[in-house]
Amino acid sequence: MEKTHYKYENILSWIFVIGAIFTGYIVYSNLDKGFIFNDEAFYLFFYRDHDTLPTIDATNFYRIFKVLYTENIYLFRCITYGLLNISTFIFYFLISKYYNLKVNAFLIGCLGIALNFITWGISNIVIHQYIGNTILINFSLAFILIHLLYKKLFPLIIAGFCMGLLLFNGIPHTIVLIPIAGFLLFNFWKNSKETIVYTLIGGIIGIIFYFTFIESFSTFISQFEWIKYYKEFHTKQHPKRFYAIWILKVLGFIFIPTGVLLGYIHKISKRKVQDLNVILIILTAIFIISNLFYPSIYINYVLFALLIYRYSLENISDIKKTMLIVLFLIPFGLSFGSGAYFETRGGLYNIYPYLSLIIILLSLYNIKYYILFIILFAYNCITYPNILHDKGWKDFVVTEQTENVKVNGYDLYLDKGRKKDIEDLRPYLENQNNVIYSSNHLMGYLYILNAKPPIYYYFTLKDYVKFVIEKRGKKPDDFIYIESNDYPFSPKEIVPLKFVKHPEKYQVIKTGRFTVYLPSNFSKK
């Protein structure tokens, strides 16, 4: 009877394979389309030029994953998804083995791949720190699971190695290591200290590897000089109020409601399991409705937290229980300090809480609840092609990207307006080294035309730009200035003809949707 029960769940789970193939086809058949003119160009600039950039961001993932960089953007995107999917498949596969789930581990692995496609979509997919962190975390946890499954210590060295590298993959995001460290200390400090020792050895090897083959220690230390300057100028992207609001939102919408509900169930309720089940049914209904109409990541996490508590009431090992807590907490660490609030960035890490959800469903509940998950998954796959028509980051729409443009000798398809913009700007910006731009969405034009600013920035901070110019031994009058008519220079910051000392020597050219300010020493290259 039990085998038959498992048989049906395995048959249903083939939808994960179909979903992975379907969403993967949508993604890979469109990876040569479009270009995110702010974020994607920003990351590509850093990969290409990070050795010469005067910024603390140089000490980051650009160096860790530099070996993967290629100027063929289509291939780079394929590499990104390849690494992301391989790491996620292995992680999901091993989780299925460790928790002895009723569904074949291969099928659970395919669920991870499908969730990657659904979560990350198509645009802005060249490897960056959010994806880089996900890959490193996946491999770290995968090798910890190999240790748990086969009782071998060597995999812990590899896990520690990946976590050692992660220390340099975006400073605020390294707090994601706290729940993993807590997991290891809680479960192994008393009974198996060698587990912790081997992980630490791996971490030390990772750090040594970083400073031996990726970046010199002296270069790393020199970056801290820039932190001092950076803090003086760069207050717009990560002001203190951002961190305060981020924390208050997470506390107010997730941890406080969860704490109140758990406090009631654990301390006051006389029918603990029954009351918990009622609350879970209500939250599940809200979860389904929100996924169909208006996704609410805060409701999702309250539900996942209570499900983990329900799981903890069973006679199951502490290691398996605390691993679920790690999966629950990882998105908070990875999204912290990202420049966007949790409701914006937290959803990028759905592979972790949804994995905890599938573990709990397959471990505690019968097939009818699992069918509900399958239906919801199928719905997300069926509606996934809508991404081709939806406006993405800065109005990117895949179906409008039909015009062929050569970028570094490789084909890339853009919309007609972007292609015209490039041809309008080519005589003035192509191969120019000193360009200051008004808005970060102009970075894409600079990248395609191989034009270089003194520094790649999101905001035109007058004092910061002036500081960098002087650091390079130049003057404001040495630079070309370009502004979008939609996003002109801010009068509170840089206004080209007021920023330079000799505005009378500048030639002002209206070209398409842009205004270009050319200095007296301008010459075509």
- Rounded to an integer, what distance in angstroms lies between the CA atom of residue 158 and that of residue 217? 22
Element of type H or E holding 312: helix 297-312
Within a 10 A sphere around the Cβ of 227, how many other Cβ atoms? 13
Residue 335: both structure tokens together? 């999204």
Lowest model confidence (mean pLDDT) among 29-38, 193-202, 235-244, 332-341: 235-244
- Tell how many helices (H) and how many strands (E) occur in the chain: 22, 6
Tell me if 279 sits within 8 A of 306, measured CB to CB. Answer: yes
Query: Looking at the predicted structure, is the pLDDT value of residue 172 above 80?
Result: no
Q: How many whole angstroms separate alpha carbon 365 and alpha carbon 373? A: 12
**Helix 105-120 and helix 367-382: axis angle, to 10°?**
40
- Which structure tokens are listed for 110? 């395919």
If pLDDT is split at 50, 70 and 90, which confidence band does 3 have?
Answer: very low
| Res. 268 pLDDT band, cuts 50 70 90 | confident
Closest CA to 459 of 42, 108, 144: 42
| pLDDT tens-digit series, residues 7-40 | 889 999 999 999 999 999 999 999 999 999 988 9
Report pLDDT for 4: 46
Query: pLDDT: is 177 or 394 the higher one?
Result: 177
2 falls in which pLDDT band (50, 70, 90)? very low
Angstrom distance (rounded) from CA 8 to CA 26: 28
Summarize the confidence of residues 479-502 as an average pLDDT: 92
Helices marked H in 121-192 — which ranges?
A: 129-150, 154-166, 177-188
Q: What is the rounded distance in angstroms from the CA atom of residue 310 to the CA atom of residue 290? A: 22
Distance CA 422, CA 53 (A): 25
pLDDT over 80 (residue 58): no
CA-nearest of 305, 64, 389, 323 to 186 is: 323
- pLDDT, average across residues 185-213: 94
pLDDT band at 56 (very low <50, low <70, confident <90, very high): low
Answer whether residue 1 shows pLDDT above 60.
no
* Gap between the Cα atoms of 125 and 109, Å rounded: 21
Q: Is the pLDDT reported for residue 5 higher than 60? A: no
SS3 content of the chain, % helix, strand, coil (to 5): 70, 5, 25
Residues 6+ apart with CB under 8 A from 50: 57, 58, 60, 62, 63, 66
Picking from 52-66, 153-167, 414-428, 469-483, which range would have the lowest pLDDT averaged per residue? 52-66
Given a cut of 70, whether residue 59 has pLDDT beyond it is no
Q: What are phi and psi of 413, to 5 degrees?
A: -105, 125
Which tens digits make up the pLDDT trace of 85-143?
999 999 999 999 999 999 999 999 999 999 999 999 887 889 988 899 999 999 999 99
Q: Which two tokens stand for residue 59?
A: 């000490």
Residue 210 confidence (pLDDT): 92
Report whether pLDDT(154) > 60. Answer: yes
What is residue 237's predicted lDDT score, i.e. its pLDDT?
60
Indicate if the pLDDT at residue 238 is higher than 80. no
Cβ neighbors of 282 (< 8 A, separation 6 or more) are none
pLDDT of 380 higher than 70: yes
Instruction: Compute the Cα dihedral for 23, 29, 33, 35 and give only its sign.
Output: positive
pLDDT of res. 336: 85
Which of 274-278, 437-441, 504-508 has the largest mean confidence? Answer: 504-508
**CA–CA separation, 482 vs 487, rounded Å?**
10
**pLDDT value of residue 225:** 73
Predicted confidence (pLDDT) at residue 415 exceeds the cutoff of 80: yes
Q: d(Cα 163, Cα 144) in Å, to the nearest integer?
A: 11
